[in-house]
Amino acid sequence: MKHFLKENDFDATERQEIFSLAAGCKENRMHHPKPLEGQTWGMLFYKNSTRTRVSFEVGLGDMGARVVVLDKSSMQIGRGESLADTAEVFSRYLHGLVIRSFGHDIVEDFSRFGSIPIVNALTDFLHPCQIYSDVFTLAEKWGGRGDDLESVKGRRLAFFGDCCCNMANSWILAASLFDIDLVLCGPDSFQPQQDILDLMQAQGLEPRHTFTSDPDQAASGADALYTDVWVSMGKEEESRQRIAQMKPYSVTSDLMAKAKPDALFLHCMPTHPGLEVTQNVLDSDQAHLYDQAENRLHMQKAILAQLASQTIQMDSNQDDLL
């Protein structure tokens, strides 16, 4: 059973197919095939969500599926029922499941115990749907189409702030997969953690990232600057300490000026103007946040279509054996 839990769960050929599907979905929003017609997909949320919930719910509907939105707090899993039992039962009801959770082990366990495709819509470790959408956005800006993956190769992207958060981890994977030169920049105490480095090694991925605590050095000559919230959900108790440590890494107009004149600014949202980024950067022509948000819809539809096609192929192969 094929799942999408991390960026390299699709190989290079599959990634190109997905990006081309996403470009087609964007060009023909309501006039594309509906590979999920007649299916029912679940969306399970352990965390609050705006863009993830709306983009997936709309996208699943566009692809022909019925959607069941589930909240951990209103289910028996929130009262002690085992995840293994829940995954097995869901597999009898649903054709696929989108999960937004805290621990990455939750999506891994659902994929292990169930028998339906699982899509990681965000964990504290990785955010693969966002990263695919961001690379698609960069390709649109640099190559004219979101599936022009050649246009992102060799580009320099600087990430500022918490360099051990899920988005930084996902960019570490994406840099290797899409041949992007990634510079991570933040406090020394927020360098990438061993878990993402171990995953890279286990998956045989060649690192294409470096780390520095010097913002000017990171921004110098960059094709794109990226940042994320300084205080993620579940880290609220650390807010004061994190903000104090991250303050030198705010993306300002002065920092943008260190990059290439046509450098892009990206942020996966929600933003906190005056903290990780200043309002004048958000208001500038270099910012492309709404394009990123829109492209979540098209990219996720393409990911769902790819999973559906591979599931259908697996079912067909099994039928041929009978």
For residue 319, pLDDT beyond 70:
no
* Tens digit of each residue's pLDDT (9 = 90 or more) over 90-134: 999 999 999 999 999 999 999 999 999 999 999 999 999 999 999
With CA atoms as reference, report the closest residue to 294 among 25, 18, 8, 21.
Answer: 25
For residue 269, pLDDT beyond 50:
yes
pLDDT at 305: 96
Give the span between the Cα atoms of 242 and 245, in whole angstroms.
5
pLDDT at 316: 46
Q: How confident is the model at residue 32 (pLDDT cuts 50, 70, 90)?
A: confident
pLDDT at 78: 64
pLDDT at 232: 81
Please say whether the dihedral angle defined by the alpha carbons of residues 15, 294, 142 and 166, taken in this order, is positive or negative: negative
Percent over 90 (pLDDT), the chain: 87
Alpha helices in 28-120 (DSSP H): 51-62, 83-93, 104-113
Question: Based on the domain organization, do 72 and 170 belong to the same domain?
Answer: no
Evaluate whether residue 233 is within a structural domain.
yes
The DSSP 8-state label assigned to residue 58 in this structure reads H
Question: Based on the domain organization, do 199 and 250 belong to the same domain?
Answer: yes
Q: How confident is the model at residue 312 (pLDDT cuts 50, 70, 90)?
A: low
Phi/psi at 17 (5° precision): -60, -45
Lowest mean pLDDT among 11-15, 79-83, 215-219, 250-254: 79-83
Tell me which residue range forms the domain holding 226: 130-287
Say if residue 270 is preceded by a cis peptide, omega within 30 of 0.
yes
Give the span between the Cα atoms of 147 and 191, in whole angstroms.
31
Question: Based on the domain organization, do 74 and 166 belong to the same domain?
Answer: no
Question: Based on the domain organization, do 275 and 142 belong to the same domain?
Answer: yes
pLDDT at 73: 77
Please say whether the dihedral angle defined by the alpha carbons of residues 172, 271, 121 and 44, taken in this order, is positive or negative: positive
Overall number of domains in the chain: 2
* Tens digit of each residue's pLDDT (9 = 90 or more) over 136-193: 999 999 999 999 999 999 999 999 999 999 999 999 999 999 999 999 999 999 999 9
Sole residue written with tokens 């290079």: 12
Give the span between the Cα atoms of 305 and 314, in whole angstroms.
14
* Tens digit of each residue's pLDDT (9 = 90 or more) over 235-249: 788 899 999 999 999
Evaluate whether residue 1 is within a structural domain.
no
List of long-range contacts for 74-79, beta carbons under 8 Å, 24+ apart: none
User: How are beta strands 118-122 and 96-100 bridged, if at all?
Assistant: parallel
pLDDT at 71: 86
Question: Based on the domain organization, do 122 and 137 belong to the same domain?
Answer: no
Give the DSSP H or E segment for 267: strand 264-267
For residue 321, pLDDT beyond 60:
no
Give the span between the Cα atoms of 275 and 313, in whole angstroms.
48
pLDDT at 317: 45
Question: For residue 236, what is the domain's CATH number?
Answer: 3.40.50.1370
- CB atoms < 10 A from the CB of 309, how many? 15
Sole residue written with tokens 């913002």: 215
Evaluate whether residue 113 is within a structural domain.
yes
Percent over 70 (pLDDT), the chain: 96
* Tens digit of each residue's pLDDT (9 = 90 or more) over 62-89: 999 999 999 887 777 767 789 999 999 9
Question: Based on the domain organization, do 234 and 141 belong to the same domain?
Answer: yes
